[in-house]
C-alpha cells in the first residue's frame, strides 16, 4: 500500500495547497494523522519526522553566512551595527559612503516586499527610523546583467527560469506564473521581483551547466533536498548566490515536476 505524502506547510501557502492537489492521495496541514507517512517539509521551519528538507533555514541572512562558510560566492551582508552604529551625522556619512547602494531587508522575507533600496547616505537618513525598527540587515547591491531561478530536485534540476521585464512579455512566452495580476509595467532597477515588474520565463541557454552546479551546491550547503535557488550574474560576469526558497511560487507545469520528484523519493522509502 502506498504511503500518503504530507506537505508540512502554512495553511496560507497557496502553492503548497496547489501542489498537494497535484499529488494523488496527498493532504496538507500541520497535524500528521498517521505513523506510516512521507513528510515533505515545505517551507515550514523544522520537523523531526520529515523525509525531505528536514530543517528549513528561513533566515536569509543566515543562509548567506552559510554559503560563504562553504566557499560559495555571495553579495556582502552587513549587520545593522555595521551601518547604523550612530545617528545620522557628517562623520557617519563619510565613514559609510563606500557601502552604497545597500538594500535593507528582514531576516525572513518573501517576494521582495520588504526590500528598501538605499542608493546613498541621504536615503538611509530619510528612512532611518523605519529601518532601525523594522529591518534586520543590509545586503551590498551588485550591478547585474541577469538573474535566474534554478529549481533543484535532489541531484538534478527541474528547470531554470530567467527574470525579464513584465512589460516585454507576450502571450507566446512560457512563464513561471499562472496569475499575472498586480504586476507593474515599470520594472525596478534594483529589485527584480514579480511585485516590482519582473517575471520569470524558461531559460535553456548555455549557462545552464554553471547554474545547475552552483544551485546544487547551495542546496547541499543548507542540507536541502529541494529548493528554488536565486542566482545573479554580475556585470563582472561572476555568479552570486542570493538565497534558496524552500516554498517557491510554482506554475502548473512546474508543480508536476515537483510532484514526480516527491513520488520518486517516496518509492525509495518502501
Spans of all domains in the chain? 1-56+250-270, 60-73+143-245, 77-140
Q: What one-character DSSP code corresponds to residue 2?
A: P
Contacts of 87 (CB under 8 A, 6+ apart): 128
- Element containing residue 116 per DSSP (H, E): strand 116-118
Q: How confident is the model at residue 140 (pLDDT cuts 50, 70, 90)?
A: very high
- Quote the Cα angle for 159-162-164, to 5°: 150
Class of domain 60-73+143-245: alpha beta
Average pLDDT over residues 247-268: 92
108-124 confidence digits (pLDDT tens): 998 888 999 999 999 99
How do residues 146-167 score in pLDDT, each as one tens digit? 999 999 999 999 999 999 998 8
What would the mean pLDDT of 93-121 be, rounded to a whole number? 91
CA distance 268 to 270: 6
Residue 68 banded pLDDT, cuts 50, 70, 90: very high
Helix (H) or strand (E) holding 214: helix 208-222
Confidence band of 70 (pLDDT split at 50, 70, 90): very high
What pLDDT score does 194 carry? 86
* pTM of the full structure: 0.92
Radius of gyration, alpha carbons of the chain? 20
Please list the residues that pair with 231 across neighbouring strands.
148, 241
Of 132-141, 203-212, 228-237, 244-253, least confident by mean pLDDT is 244-253
Which of the residue ranges 82-86, 89-93, 249-253, 258-262 has the most confident prediction, judged by mean pLDDT? 258-262
> Which pLDDT belongs to residue 24?
81
Residue 49 pLDDT grade (very low, low, confident, very high; cuts 50, 70, 90): confident
Would strands 239-245 and 4-8 be described as parallel, antiparallel, or unpaired?
unpaired
**Biggest CA pair distance of the chain:** 71
Amino acid at each position: 500500500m502506498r504511503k500518503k505524502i504530507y506537505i508540512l506547510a502554512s495553511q496560507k501557502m497557496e502553492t503548497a495547497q496547489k501542489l498537494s492537489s497535484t499529488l494523488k492521495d496527498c493532504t496538507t496541514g500541520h497535524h500528521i494523522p498517521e505513523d506510516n507517512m512521507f513528510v515533505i517539509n515545505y517551507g515550514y521551519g523544522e520537523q523531526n519526522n520529515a523525509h525531505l528538507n528536514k530543517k528549513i533555514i528561513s533566515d536569509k541572512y543566515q543562509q548567506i553566512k552559510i554559503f560563504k562558510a562553504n566557499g560559495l560566492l555571495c553579495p556582502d551582508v552587513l549587520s545593522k551595527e555595521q551601518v547604523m552604529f550612530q545617528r545620522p551625522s557628517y562623520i557617519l556619512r563619510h565613514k559609510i559612503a563606500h557601502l552604497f547602494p545597500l538594500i535593507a531587508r528582514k531576516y525572513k522575507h518573501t517576494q521582495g516586499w520588504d526590500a528598501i533600496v538605499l542608493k546613498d547616505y541621504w536615503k538611509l537618513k530619510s528612512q532611518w527610523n523605519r529601518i532601525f525598527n523594522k529591518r534586520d540587515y543590509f545586503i551590498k547591491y551588485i550591478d547585474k546583467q541577469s538573474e535566474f531561478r534554478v529549481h533543484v530536485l535532489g541531484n538534478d534540476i527541474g528547470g531554470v527560469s530567467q527574470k525579464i521585464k513584465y512589460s516585454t512579455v507576450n502571450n507566446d512566452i512560457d512563464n513561471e506564473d499562472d496569475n499575472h495580476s498586480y504586476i507593474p509595467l515599470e520594472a525596478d532597477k534594483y529589485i527584480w521581483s514579480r511585485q516590482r515588474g519582473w517575471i520569470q520565463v524558461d531559460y535553456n541557454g548555455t549557462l545552464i551547466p554553471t547554474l545547475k552546479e552552483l544551485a546544487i551546491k547551495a542546496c547541499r550547503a543548507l542540507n536541502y533536498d529541494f529548493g528554488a535557488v536565486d542566482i545573479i550574474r554580475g556585470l563582472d560576469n561572476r555568479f552570486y548566490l542570493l538565497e534558496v526558497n524552500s516554498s517557491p511560487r510554482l506554475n502548473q507545469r512546474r508543480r508536476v515536476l515537483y510532484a514526480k520528484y516527491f513520488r520518486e523519493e517516496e518509492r525509495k522509502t518502501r
